[in-house]
């Protein structure tokens, strides 16, 4: 499991380095995740079908994901007066982000469906 966590952290470091050096407007962990995905796909095409250390680390982190939200919950409770004072803007942002997320999801599904249908015709 330690090797898997190390691999995840190395890809996060590489992503952070890319963002820092290239001044990209994307979070470093997102770039690291894309690079990890590309590395896993490359390995799978080369015949390395399984990455047990990385899979074990990811499963361990996902299994304890709820614990990672505890500090955020404590922060909200401790700053409840500020949250109440800003309830209107917070609600507006939540609704707007939900609508944008839904629209992006629908657009992505429609685009993927068109690509799949186009691939079947050829």
- The whole domain housing 51 covers 1-68
Which region holds residue 23: left if phi is over 0, alpha if psi is between -120 and 50, else beta? Answer: left
pTM, full prediction = 0.61
pLDDT tens digits for 12-37?
999 999 999 999 999 999 999 999 99
Q: How many CA atoms lie within 13 A of 108 on its CB side?
A: 6
Joined together, the tokens standing for residue 108 give 């992505």
Does residue 76 share a domain with residue 53?
no
Does residue 99 share a domain with residue 61?
no
Number of domains in the chain: 2
pLDDT tens digits for 103-116?
999 999 999 999 99
Q: Which of 24, 47, 68 finishes a domain?
A: 68
Closest CA to 26 of 35, 14, 18, 36: 18
Q: Which of 68, 83, 114 finishes a domain?
A: 68
Does residue 17 share a domain with residue 28?
yes
Does residue 25 share a domain with residue 39?
yes
Does residue 59 share a domain with residue 8?
yes
Does residue 59 share a domain with residue 80?
no
């Amino acid at each position: 499991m330690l090797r898997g966590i190390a691999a995840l952290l190395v890809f996060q470091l590489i992503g952070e380095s890319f963002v820092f050096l290239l001044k990209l407007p994307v979070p470093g962990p997102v770039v690291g995740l894309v690079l990890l995905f590309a590395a896993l796909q490359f390995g799978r095409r080369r015949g390395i079908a399984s990455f047990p250390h990385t899979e074990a680390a990811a499963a361990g982190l996902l299994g304890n994901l709820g614990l990672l939200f505890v500090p955020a919950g404590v922060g909200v409770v401790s700053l409840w007066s500020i949250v109440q004072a800003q309830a209107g803007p917070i609600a507006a942002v939540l609704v707007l982000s939900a609508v944008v997320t839904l629209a992006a999801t629908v657009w992505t599904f429609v685009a993927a469906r068109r690509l799949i249908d186009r691939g079947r015709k050829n």
